[in-house]
């Protein structure tokens, strides 16, 4: 009986961070989609970006969702890697995530064709980051020695 309880407890301890992190990825996707839908459908913003001298390109929902999922999974993978290598994984990952968000904000500011596009994309980046950073930190649990 004690062995079964210990195994169930261990399984739930392992599953909880993954559930929290998966929920964070889903929440980040929902946040990105919500910002996109409000801006495009309710406010009539035409999300256009231009890279260099190329023609302006529309930022569709598929691109938004794909980029959010890929970025979220890369962040999750980095956190898992750090957790395996250091007792300060959550602190290191959070610092890296904040720097990554700040750097990612340069893209909308540089490539956005209009002020409304720049604002919308910046809000989207911040909304995704807020959800994802919180979920990944919660899923990380307590650090050893913290």
Per-residue pLDDT tens over the stretch 89-116: 999 999 999 999 999 999 998 999 999 9
Altogether, the residues listed in the chain come to a count of 146
The domain limits of the chain are 16-140
139 — pLDDT class (breaks 50, 70, 90): confident
Q: How far apart are CA 59 and CA 80, in angstroms?
A: 31
Does residue 84 have a pLDDT over 70? yes
- The answer to whether 19 and 135 have CB atoms below 8 angstroms apart is no
**Enclosing H/E stretch for 48:** strand 48-49
- The answer to whether 48 and 57 have CB atoms below 8 angstroms apart is yes
Structure tokens, 42: 């309710």
Q: What is the pLDDT of residues 9-65, one digit of tens each?
A: 444 445 577 899 999 999 999 999 999 999 999 999 999 999 988 899 999 999 999
Structure tokens, 106: 């340069």
């Amino acid at each position: 009986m004690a062995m079964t309880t210990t195994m169930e407890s261990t399984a739930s301890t392992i599953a909880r961070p993954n559930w929290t992190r998966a929920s964070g990825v889903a929440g980040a996707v929902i946040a990105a989609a919500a910002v996109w839908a409000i801006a495009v459908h309710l406010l009539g913003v035409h999300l256009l970006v231009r890279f260099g001298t190329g023609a302006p390109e529309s930022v569709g929902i598929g691109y938004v969702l794909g980029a959010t999922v890929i970025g979220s999974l890369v962040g999750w993978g980095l956190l898992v890697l750090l957790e395996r290598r250091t007792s300060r994984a959550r602190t290191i990952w959070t610092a890296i995530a904040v720097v990554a968000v700040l750097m990612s904000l340069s893209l909308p500011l540089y490539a956005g064709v209009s002020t409304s596009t720049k604002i919308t994309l910046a809000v989207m980046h911040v909304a995704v980051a807020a959800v994802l950073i919180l979920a990944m930190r919660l899923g990380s649990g307590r650090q050893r020695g913290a």
